[in-house]
């Protein structure tokens, strides 16, 4: 336990006027310090694979979508932002989304969908900016969400590194 020391003002501090000049000198000194503010639209925040931006759907190199519309991301989403309708497909994965919508106005960029997805199909991109003229335009559909997997590869590698846990023991039932 430490008892904080209550300071008593000295004579000079009580006079107030000298303190004003001391304060001004601090202000003057600060003028020559390095600038810490950012000129935002021109000077963007740096983004990298750690950035959790808006979720996007990965599309394979042969233009097929990875998502199998299992609905796990929909179930994991704490903001109820995702809506999925599935459909059958002839491809090996058998199912794919017919409709996949993320309401970007609801999305809180928590990354739970990415964590839940068993097919590495939904990934947090580094896209952060969000602006449009209507609410409807911000409900992103499949076309707006699709990104080639090459663009999302750094993030994919990163989350694989993160979830590399429990290596010591074998898998239990």
Partner 1 sequence: MSSQTTNPRTTFEYKPGVPAEYEDDPIHGEVMKLNMGPQHPATHGVLQLQLALDGELMRDINPVVGFLHRGKEKTCESLGWAKFFPHTDRLDYVQPLLNNVGYALALEKLADIEVPERGQVIRVVLMEVSRIAAHLIYLGTTGIDLGAVTMFFNTFKEREKIYTILDAYTGHRMNNTYVRIGGVYSDVDETVEGMLREFLEQFEAQVDEFEGLLTGNRIWYDRNRNVGAITKEQALAWSLTGPNLRGTGVEWDLRKSQPYSGYADYDFEVPVGTIGDCYDRYLVRVEEMRQSTKIALQALDRLAKSRGAAVLAEDRRYILPPRQKVQSSMEELIHQFKIVTDLRLPKGEAYSGVESSKGELGFFVASDGTSEPLRCHIRAPGLMNVQVIPLLAEGRLFSDMVALIGSLDFVMGEVDR
What minimum distance in Å lies between the beta carbon of 137 and ligand SF4?
A: 17
> CB-wise, 72 or 142, nearer to ligand SF4?
72
Which of partner 1, ligand SF4, none lies near 148, with the C-beta cut-off 5 to 8 A by kind?
Answer: none
Which of partner 1, ligand SF4, none lies near 55, with the C-beta cut-off 5 to 8 A by kind?
Answer: ligand SF4
Q: What angle do CA 108, 49, 93 make, to 5 degrees?
A: 80
The answer to whether the beta carbons of residues 134 and 103 sit under 8 Å apart is no
Check binding of 39 to partner 1 (CB under 8 A).
no
Give the residue among 104, 97, 98 at the shortest CA–CA distance from 125: 104
Out of 59, 124, 142, 145, the residue judged to bind partner 1 by CB under 8 A: 124
Which of ligand SF4, partner 1, none lies near 81, with the C-beta cut-off 5 to 8 A by kind?
Answer: ligand SF4
> CB-wise, 25 or 64, nearer to ligand SF4?
64
Torsion sign over Cα 149, 155, 161, 166 = negative
The answer to whether the beta carbons of residues 47 and 158 sit under 8 Å apart is no
- 3-class state of residue 27 by DSSP: helix
């Amino acid at each position: 336990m430490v008892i904080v020391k209550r300071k008593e003002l000295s004579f000079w501090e009580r006079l107030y006027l000298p303190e004003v000049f001391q304060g001004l000198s601090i202000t003057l000194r600060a003028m020559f310090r390095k600038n810490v503010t950012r000129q935002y639209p021109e000077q963007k925040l740096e983004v990298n694979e750690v950035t959790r931006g808006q979720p996007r759907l990965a599309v394979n190199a042969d233009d097929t979508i990875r998502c199998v519309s299992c609905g796990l991301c929909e179930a994991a989403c704490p903001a109820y932002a995702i809506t999925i309708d599935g459909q059958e497909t002839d491809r090996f994965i058998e199912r794919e989304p017919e409709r996949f919508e993320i309401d970007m106005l609801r999305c809180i960029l928590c990354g739970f969908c990415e964590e839940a997805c068993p097919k590495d199909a939904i990934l947090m991109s580094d896209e952060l900016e969000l602006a449009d003229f209507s609410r409807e335009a911000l409900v992103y559909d499949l076309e707006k969400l699709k990104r080639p997997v090459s663009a999302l590869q750094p993030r994919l590698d990163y989350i694989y590194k993160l979830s590399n846990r429990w290596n010591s023991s074998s898998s239990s039932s």
